[in-house]
Structure 1
């Protein structure tokens, strides 16, 4: 079980539990909604946490921490299993804290590689300790404990474990070497310098909906599902402009892509045989429903004007 921690302060982008909840629960990404510990109003857990923070006179600028508990893909943990895991871990590691557990399964990095997303838990822990009235602190001993406890719980469930900090055989704390690839362990300045590489224009890539992973895979001659869908949409749009009677669903079906309607009215695209679907707006701004309809409408109008003026489309 991988345990990652993010700290939120009054000086960071998310300055309150309310602001962070907007990210955790947006677009229906929270599977089954949030469940809580030491909270009265479950539906407005974030507002209750912010009121608690205001009530205590805490030193420093830390307002809360978020722990991400992520199992190995081989464990095939379900969202409900991850919720039970998170609450047990929370009750043992932060029993006197207000906390919320939100389950996600939308891992952009894995989905970008065409792999199945993993159900994982986001555990938001409010800063005040309700018993002492002081701020919850994380020293080395506590960090080791919450990491090692997650590994013990994983073993109890028959899941994969990460290396533990405490060596029971030797009775001492061991140094754990990061399992991240050397590429990811480089100094931040080197990674930022690479992002500034003129071969990869981050602003243009963002507008086109292309991730860094997609860019690197494209250089290696490999294609992501999003790349295939984006290319299919471009071809279908041109085909529909040339043939006004053609529907988008039919044009995409010819290319092995099905269309569904998203809750917000946007379109979702799924390649045949795949379990992954992508909203048009996440593939690229120009592939959202409104943008697509507008581009097709304008293209057909331009083609009609050319024909009425006596010029063929190919002229």
Structure 2
């Protein structure tokens, strides 16, 4: 079998065109499930990457995402969710995507082969020493992504490489190498499938660990969210009520005082003033747990 297992034939591919629809779906699901099993061996590296990302953000730096094609889309999906879910400022989690916005509307292969685009994107991202960049490439050899990794290292940033090929240049270059051994695809070479799913789940895991490290998650609640629309006001009120133990009316009143910020609202709902809540959170680095000592 080829070293590039993502280009090899999957056993479930044989006769795929000729079987019933239910069987096609069953095989696809089996392939996806098999691919996700590759995450468990990568837990140590994902954890290490999350710690590096949290440290960069805690110190006022950036945790950037980079990729092209399907891998870039997986990176983009996680990147765009962080401000809304965990209250991380968008400029702290920049996205470097081969081809930019235009490539999102019409995917083409050319931009991923252009290292000059990578240099321009790096310049715009303004990465520096202490920052982290998460570079994704299923093959681990995409010129754009390799150029981002190389350029980021030269700037003093920590490079985390995600690839589905063990011998990938990206993994050899990375400071933290996350190998996801997803193997062949049901549709040969279509890494938007098993490889892409594993990459997306790996990033879900990483970003949640980062958020926990920063104090943005408490008991599974997204406590660093800011309620800035009707849906989030309701969600924020439920979070404040759930964590503080107060009623929803009290929770909404607290949110009104904190202008929608959930963490201080939780403390206000428990009896603090806004100023006291903000000061208390400053002393704990934004973590609620030390301030909720009477909770289990």
Same fold flag (TM > 0.5):
no
More strand by share: 1
Larger radius of gyration: 1
Q: Which has the higher contact order (CA 8 A, sep 6+)?
A: 2
TM-score (normalizing by structure 1): 0.25
- Going by fraction, where is helix more abundant, 1 or 2? 2
Q: TM-score under structure 2 normalisation?
A: 0.26
